[in-house]
Every structure is written in structure tokens, then in C-alpha cells.
Amino acid sequence: MTQSSLRISLVQMDIAIGEPERNFARVQEQLERLASAEVRPDVVVLPEMWNTGYALDRIQALADPDGERTKAFIGDWCRRTGIHAIAGSVAERRGTEVRNTIYAFDRSGLATADYSKIHLFRLMDEEKHLTAGDKLGTLSIDGIPAGMMICYDIRFPELARKLALDGAKLLIVPAEWPHPRLHHWRTLLTARAIENQMYVVACNRVGASGSTSFFGHSLIIDPWGEIVAEGGEEETVVTADISLETVDRVRRTIPVFEDRRPPLYGNHA
């Protein structure tokens, strides 16, 4: 049965670079707090690379082999609590390759989808240490079609549009988006929501990694481009209720998808 609404919580947290044990403990503390809340969320989202941070010079040694620790840890929590989790993304080692990968879990604790970042960010040398993904990130949350992207991916509108054309009504974006590009972050996420007439939920980290600082401002944006909830620059949990009926209403009001003319767009359709 498809739900018409979801309560979503974004865990905006600091990440200890190169310290998986500390990061797992932090995440566990946050998850248990959410599970014991008087009104619990339906979905919890974590930030990008929360297990290791951008310790790329040591990433082969630090990455989670086949994501097994992440899947066991988050899957157990979902099974105990009956809450969905989009486990941010983690550094995941597959053989000799390391990928920046999201795992999604349903209420029973089953890992139902995964997505490895397909656009690697050269400004942080990702392409030197990580292997790019080669498939789209799609999933269903209580019957609601959704898509997944990671951080730098939001600069590629073709990806969000493809997910929308495939049915996504909700776009989930874990990130480590740094200063000084707050304006880019808010503008790009808002644009993805407006042009694709879908909810965008984006969970960004806070804190610092070396000389790079991260500003948080995790966002939940509706299909009109209105900000439903936004974090500040400190550790917090950003929570909001979203109505998926809003997506259908906006798409009926301004029928963008019906008015598209793909033959004129060529390879950009």
C-alpha cells in the first residue's frame, strides 16, 4: 500500500575524518534518539561518507568491505524500530575498488537499493581514489518511487530529470558540501525540485576536515521550490512531514512532463 505522506528526519552531524569507530558510535547515538522520540520518523537520512569522511589517502584501509558492517548495523536498527533508513553514503570497498555508496533499508531491515556516486568531484580528488558508479539510484519507500543522488551529482540536471521521468516523486541527496558554496547548494537543490516537480531532501554534514569547513543547511524542499525545513550550521536533526499528494497536484497544475518535446532535445532527452 502506498502512503500519501512521510515524516523525514535528516541527521546533520559532524564526521571524524578517518575514524570509523567514532562515527559509527555517533550515528548509533543519533539513531537511538530518533527511535525513542515521542513521534518517530518514517525515514532517516544520513550524510555523505559518514563512516570515514574524506580520508582519501587511507581510504583503501578504512573503507567498509562490501558494505557489510554498514548493512548489518543499519539493517538491525531498521528491523528493531520499523523505520526506513537511507544510510547516507559510506566508503565501500569492492575488491580493490572503493566506491562512495548509499544503502537504502526498508522497515524490516532489508537492504532494498544501493547507489554509488557516478560524478566524482575533482576538487576533492575523488577521481584519484574512488571508482565511479555505473547505474542510477532508484528505490521505493512505502510504495513511493524515489531517487538517490550524492552531493556533486546535483550539478547534473540530466540525472535528476532522468530519475523524475522514471517516476521519482522524492529525491534524496546525502552530501559533504563545503563553504563557500552555500548559495550554489540552496539554488541547485531548489532548481532540481522546481524543474522536476518533486520533493528534494538533502542531508549535509557540519564541522571541518582539514582546511575545509562544511555548513550544514540540510534542506527539505517541496515541488514548488518552497523550503519546508532547513538546518543551521550546527549538529541537529532536521525533520518535516511531506505530502506526496502535493507532487501530483503540482504536476497537474503545470504539466511540464506532458509539454516536453524530446525529439528536439536530441541526446539530452
Kindly name the residue from 78, 117, 126, 176 that is annotated as catalytic. Answer: 117
Give, for 105, the enclosing helix (H) or strand (E).
strand 97-105
128 catalytic per annotation: no
Kindly name the residue from 71, 78, 92, 151 that is annotated as catalytic. Answer: 151
Domain residue ranges of the chain, discontinuous segments joined by +: 5-260
Q: Which string of b and e fits 131-162 if b means at least 16 CB within 10 Å? A: bebeeebbbebbebbbbbbbbbbbeeeebbbb
Give, for 215, the enclosing helix (H) or strand (E).
strand 212-215
Superfamily covering domain 5-260: Carbon-nitrogen hydrolase (3.60.110.10)
Percent of the chain with pLDDT over 70: 98
Q: Are strands 227-230 and 97-105 parallel, antiparallel or unpaired?
A: unpaired
Which of the four pLDDT bands, split at 50, 70 and 90, describes residue 4?
confident
Which three three-digit cell numbers place residue 10?
535528516
Q: Where are the beta strands (DSSP E) in 159-211?
A: 170-175, 199-204, 206-209
What is the rounded distance in angstroms from the CA atom of residue 89 to the CA atom of residue 94? Answer: 15
Kindly name the residue from 48, 92, 126, 176 that is annotated as catalytic. Answer: 48
Q: Which string of b and e fits 15-51 if b means at least 16 CB within 10 Å? A: bbbbbbeebbebbeebbeebbeeeeebbbbbbbbbbb
Q: How far is CA 97 from CA 37, 151, 250, in A?
A: 39, 20, 42
CA 60 to chain centre: 23
What is the rounded distance in angstroms from the CA atom of residue 209 to the CA atom of residue 14? Answer: 9
| pLDDT digits 0-9 by tens, 218-262 | 999 999 999 999 999 999 999 999 999 999 999 999 999 999 999
Please determine, for residue 144, whether its predicted confidence score (pLDDT) is greater than 90. yes
pTM comes to 0.96
135 catalytic per annotation: no
